[in-house]
Amino acid sequence: MKRMKCVISYDGTNFSGFQVQPLKRTVQSELEKALKKIHKGQDIRIFPSGRTDRGVHAIRQTIHFDTSNQMNEKSWKKALNALLPEDVYVKETKHVPSSFHARFSAIEKEYRYVILNTQEPDVFRRHYAYHFPYALDMTQMRKACHYLEGKHDFTAFSSARSTVKGSKVRTLYEASCQQKGSDIMFVFRGDGFLYHMVRILVGTLLEVGQGKRKPEHIKQLLKQQDRKQSGKTAPPQGLYLWDVTYPE
53 is catalytic: yes
**Tally of domains within the chain:** 2
What is the pLDDT at residue 117? 98
Q: What tens digit of pLDDT does each residue of 61-88 get?
A: 999 999 999 999 999 999 999 999 999 9
Q: Which of 96, 119, 135 is the last residue of a domain?
A: 96
105 Ramachandran zone, left/alpha/beta (phi>0; psi -120 to 50): alpha
Does residue 124 share a domain with residue 87?
no
Distance CA 202, CA 177 (A): 10
Neighbours of 166 (CB within 10 A): 5
For residue 185, the surrounding DSSP H or E stretch is strand 183-190
Does residue 114 share a domain with residue 237?
yes
Binding residue ranges for substrate: 111
On the question of pLDDT at 222 being above 80, the answer is: yes
Distance CA 146, CA 169 (A): 17
The CATH number for 34's domain is 3.30.70.580
Q: Which residue type is seen at 222?
A: L
pLDDT band, very low/low/confident/very high, at 166 (cuts 50, 70, 90): confident
- Residue 19: helix, strand or coil by DSSP? coil
Does residue 127 share a domain with residue 239?
yes
In DSSP terms, which residues pair with 4 in a beta bridge?
A: 65, 95
- Do 204 and 219 touch, CB atoms closer than 8 A? no
What is the pLDDT at residue 131? 99
On the question of pLDDT at 160 being above 90, the answer is: no
What is the pLDDT at residue 161? 73
Whether 102 maps to a domain, the answer reads no
Binding residue ranges: 111
Whether 208 maps to a domain, the answer reads yes
End-to-end CA distance of the chain: 23
In the chain, what's the furthest Cα-to-Cα distance? 59
Distance CA 94, CA 32 (A): 17
Does residue 115 share a domain with residue 92?
no
Whether 101 maps to a domain, the answer reads no
DSSP label at residue 84: S
- Strand pairing class (108-116; 130-131): parallel
Does residue 223 share a domain with residue 161?
yes
Q: 50, 63, 51: which is closest to 26 by C-alpha?
A: 51
Does residue 157 share a domain with residue 129?
yes
Does residue 90 share a domain with residue 112?
no
Q: Which of 50, 65, 96 is the last residue of a domain?
A: 96
What is the pLDDT at residue 138? 98
Q: Which of 11, 53, 153, 191 is catalytic?
A: 53
What are the CA-CA distances from residue 151 to residues 106, 144, 193, 217, 238 (Å)?
Answer: 17, 15, 12, 17, 25
- Do 56 and 235 touch, CB atoms closer than 8 A? no
The CATH number for 123's domain is 3.30.70.660
Q: What tens digit of pLDDT does each residue of 193-212 get?
A: 999 999 999 999 999 999 99
Q: What tens digit of pLDDT does each residue of 84-143 get?
A: 999 999 999 999 999 999 999 999 999 999 999 999 999 999 999 999 999 999 999 999
- Sign of CA pseudo-dihedral 16, 197, 50, 87: positive
Q: Which domain holds residue 84?
A: 2-96
In the structure, how many helices (H) and strands (E) does the chain have?
A: 5, 10
pLDDT band, very low/low/confident/very high, at 44 (cuts 50, 70, 90): very high
Does residue 221 share a domain with residue 113?
yes
Does residue 179 share a domain with residue 61?
no
